[in-house]
Amino acid sequence: MAKRYKAFISYAHHDERWSSWLQRSLEHYRVPAKLRRQQAAGKPVPGRLHPIFRDREELASSSDLSESICSAMDRSSALIVVCSPEAAASKWVNEEIRYFQSLGRANQIFCLLVSGSPERDAPDCAFPKALLETDDGQPLPDPLAADISEQADGKRDAMLKIAAGLLGVGIDDLKQR
């Protein structure tokens, strides 16, 4: 199936502000011209990361939301999870991650940490269970996340880390050091 979306953003509605910011930031980001002239993993590097799926922006009215969501995920090259304690507690975020993993694309899941702790045992852990363990309870490696906090990546660098992952390039390529 041809991919229509560069990525699907999964988020708890408590984090809608962050999902909206991320979608806008990624879709308006212009890949540096020098990088566009190169290739990443044998493929041309696109000039834009557009479109990014976010349910509030993309879904038409439907009698079966889950069918619409699954269809959008099927047509997405990557999954971006906006991670927070609310996302970790969300049944729907967890189910979206599990579904994307079932497509065989677990290596195309990117995390944006917007609140809470990255520590799996912390009471305010930001990572949904599907990112931490398999269906049968076996632990998965700790997820790597772009972190919007100023003491970590900050908003701009966190967005660039997600963009680099989606493009299959290094973050240094986007920063043009």
pLDDT in tens, 77-120: 999 999 999 999 999 999 999 999 999 999 999 999 999 999 99
Give this prediction's pTM. Answer: 0.91
Token code pair at residue 97: 């991650």
Residue 22 — very low, low, confident or very high, per pLDDT cuts 50/70/90?
very high
Query: What is the spatial distance between Cα 129 and Cα 140, in angstroms, rounded to a whole number?
Result: 10
Contact 162, 110 (CB under 8 A): yes
Share of the chain above pLDDT 70, in %: 90
Cα–Cα distance for residue pair 31/36, rounded to 1 Å: 7
Of the two residues 13 and 113, the one the predictor is more confident about is 113
Cα separation, 171 vs 58, whole angstroms: 28
Question: How far is Cα of residue 137 from the mean position of the Cα atoms in its chain?
Answer: 23
Asked whether residue 72 carries a pLDDT value surpassing 50, the answer given is yes
Token output for 1: 């199936």
Give the Cβ contact number of residue 164 at 10 Å.
20
pLDDT tens digits for 129-156? 999 999 899 999 999 999 999 999 999 9
3-state secondary structure of 161: helix
**Neighbouring C-alpha atoms within 13 Å toward the C-beta of 106:** 12
